[in-house]
Amino acid sequence: MKNFNNKRGLMKKIIFLITIFLLGITLTVTAFGVDKKTLIVYFSLPEGSDPNNLSIEGENSTVVIDGKVLGNTEYMAKIIQENTGADIYRIVPKIPYDISNHRNLTNFAKEEQKNNARPEIANKIIDVSQYDTLFIGYPIWWADLPMILYTFFDNVDLSGKTIIPFGTHGGSGFAGTVETIKKLESKAKVSDNGRIISRNAIANSEKNIINWLENLGYKK
């Protein structure tokens, strides 16, 4: 009987120690943010949707994967999603951009910029409160963020969150947009290690994107 009680006492001690151990791990994980949630937000405007009938501008602004036409920034967002497991939210304009004529599109976007416009977002703006890190992606438009990104930033509170900018361009690189985001979201931590990829390199950029995610520590 005594022996049995001793065994029971030992078992209790072991269970107690295991519980403390597991509690310790949980607290450590929470404290060091290992369980933090990540969101990918992006805007992208592929200038065409038929892989067999793309204009030059269409080819410039798209990547074709398995017969599906993706915008350049959309492609980047997809690779980031696949390699981080993050949630993803696409910014969709309420009034679709007319992509039938590139010159008209660029003129239209120039006007939006001149007027400091805030194009409406069609889909419900995602509740960002549950996320700690946001990858935010966009194409460079007239050496700036597309104005609909300003609409997004106006409508979310990113205080205390980490923002990692990414995007694609036709020659101007980030063109000061990272500094712009820092001004718009002055209470966020905006990473200087964002990634912008030339549209000429985008189709072969998967490794580049994965290496970048690895270096950032976000590769799953």
Ligand X SMILES: Cc1cc2nc3c(=O)[nH]c(=O)nc-3n(C[C@H](O)[C@H](O)[C@H](O)COP(=O)(O)O)c2cc1C
Sites of contact with ligand X (CB under 6 A): 44-46, 60-61, 71-74, 105-106, 109, 139-143, 168-172, 199
Work out how close the CB of 99 gets to ligand X at its nearest, in angstroms, rounded to a whole number: 8
Amino acid identity of residue 140, one-letter, is I
* Residue with Cβ nearer ligand X (143 or 203): 143
What is the smallest separation between the CB atom of 40 and ligand X, expressed in angstroms?
13
Nearest distance, CB of residue 87 and ligand X, angstroms: 19
Whole-number Å distance between alpha carbons of 14 and 158: 45
The least CB distance from residue 58 to ligand X, in Å, is 9
Q: Which is nearer to ligand X, 61 or 133 (CB)?
A: 61
Nearer to ligand X, 34 or 95 (CB): 95
CB of 185 to ligand X, least distance (A): 21
Residue whose CB is less far from ligand X, 57 or 132: 57
- Asked if residues 182 and 190 have their Cβ atoms less than 8 Å apart, the reply is yes
* Of residues 54 and 134, the one with the C-beta less far from ligand X: 54
